[in-house]
């Protein structure tokens, strides 16, 4: 687990996608990074981040010595402030995952420093409080679905958790229905098992890309149609075709971060042959990636 000063700038990815737009005219077609105030909390890696309205939230993670349970919010008008930490009944953790449904965040799974977790907790900005939700459990409750480094996303008012490590890479997909506080199995991820991947949503489709399994970095990319409950493979993220469009692709990595803005998706930083500060932009219409301006903070993984 990497130690050091890991946030500072990195949350700009989340905040810029939901809260603000740079007014810097410097080569806007290639993107532009803008430094924001540092988070008034311990530096950390493997935290969770989510956006509700025009406010970004960051919590949990690993500070190099211990797992954390605190949460912080950032609003462009007001800066950083602390919100309620995970309750005492919830383990401090890193490598968790989070999704948002109807202005509530759902945070679960992860690693408490000893074991992988399967519990879930809901945070409401309206009340400022936490509520325990159904743990990630399948039809057979004797089979553990605890994991770390999973991905998650939201489509049509349902939350999804996929992949991750239960000691090895996984490829199962689970859907959460907040109306009944229940989990349902869905079609398994179309690619090979993996952990430390990223997910993002464009339109009504979710994409999973990057990640690793048994120390092998994965170069395949898949899109999920929630209505049909099926997966379709997209172009790979490495130079594997005779066509020229992928000649410069160097996207393969793990422990990156993904976000969307203006109908495009972005995969930033991570670790592959080296620790990265690269930023790649994805167009879901053309199924093509374009390298844009590198992240302007320090190279890092686990943001």
- What confidence score (pLDDT) does residue 17 get? 45
Write the DSSP symbol of residue 222.
Answer: E
Give me the phi and psi of 17, to 5 degrees please: -70, -25
Predicted confidence at residue 27, as pLDDT, reads 64
φ/ψ of 13, rounded to 5, equals: -60, -50
Task: Supply the pLDDT for residue 122.
Answer: 98
Q: Which two tokens stand for residue 116?
A: 């992988």
Q: Which residues of the chain have pLDDT under 50?
A: 1-24
Please, what sign has the CA dihedral across residues 287, 290, 291, 295?
negative
Model pLDDT for residues 185-237, shown as the tens digit of each residue: 999 999 999 999 999 999 999 999 999 999 999 999 999 999 999 999 999 99
- Cβ atoms of 74 and 58 closer than 8 Å: yes
pLDDT of residue 142: 87
Q: What is the 3-state secondary structure (H, E, C) of 247-278?
A: CCCCCCCECCEEEEECCEEEEECCECCCECCC
Q: Tell me: the pLDDT tens digits for 147-170?
A: 999 999 999 999 999 999 999 999
| pLDDT of the residue at 157 | 97
pLDDT on residue 28:
67
Q: How many CB atoms lie within 10 A of CB 28?
A: 12
Tell me the domains of the chain and their CATH numbers: 12-292 (2.120.10.80)
State the Cα–Cα distance between residues 181 and 149, nearest whole angstrom: 22
- Whole-angstrom CA distances from 82 to 42, 64, 67, 78, 255 are 12, 21, 17, 12, 26
pLDDT at 213: 95
Half-sphere exposure of 50 toward its Cβ, with a 13 Å CA cutoff?
A: 26
SS3 116: strand
What is the predicted pLDDT for the residue at 10? 45
Cα separation, 259 vs 69, whole angstroms: 23
* Radius of gyration of the chain from its Cα atoms, rounded to whole angstroms: 18
């Amino acid at each position: 687990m990497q130690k050091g000063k890991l946030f500072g700038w990195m949350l700009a990815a989340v905040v810029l996608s939901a809260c603000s737009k740079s007014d810097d005219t410097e080569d806007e077609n290639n993107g532009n990074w803008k430094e924001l105030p540092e988070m008034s909390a311990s530096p950390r890696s493997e935290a969770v981040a989510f956006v509700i309205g025009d406010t970004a939230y960051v919590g949990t993670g690993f500070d190099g010595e211990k797992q954390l349970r605190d949460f912080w919010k950032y609003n462009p008008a007001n800066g950083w402030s602390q919100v309620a930490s995970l309750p005492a009944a919830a383990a401090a953790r890193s490598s968790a995952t989070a999704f948002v449904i109807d202005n509530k965040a759902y945070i679960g799974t992860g690693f408490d420093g000893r074991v992988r977790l399967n519990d879930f907790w809901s945070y409401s900005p309206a009340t400022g409080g936490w509520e325990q939700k159904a743990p990630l459990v399948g039809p057979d409750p004797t089979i553990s679905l605890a994991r770390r480094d999973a991905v998650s996303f939201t489509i049509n008012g349902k939350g999804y958790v996929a992949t991750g490590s239960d000691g090895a890479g996984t490829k199962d997909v689970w859907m959460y229905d907040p109306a009944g506080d229940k989990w349902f199995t869905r079609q398994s991820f179309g690619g090979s098992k993996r952990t430390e991947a990223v997910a993002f949503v464009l339109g009504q489709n979710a994409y999973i890309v990057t990640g690793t399994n048994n120390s092998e970095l994965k170069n395949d990319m898949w899109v999920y149609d929630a209505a049909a409950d099926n997966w379709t493979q997209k172009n790979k993220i490495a130079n594997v075709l005779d066509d020229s469009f992928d000649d410069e692709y160097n996207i393969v990595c793990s422990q990156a971060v993904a976000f969307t803005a203006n109908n495009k998706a972005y995969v930033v930083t991570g670790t592959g042959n080296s620790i990265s500060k690269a930023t790649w932009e994805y167009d879901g219409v053309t199924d093509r990636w374009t390298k844009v301006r590198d992240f302007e903070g320090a190279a890092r993984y686990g943001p």
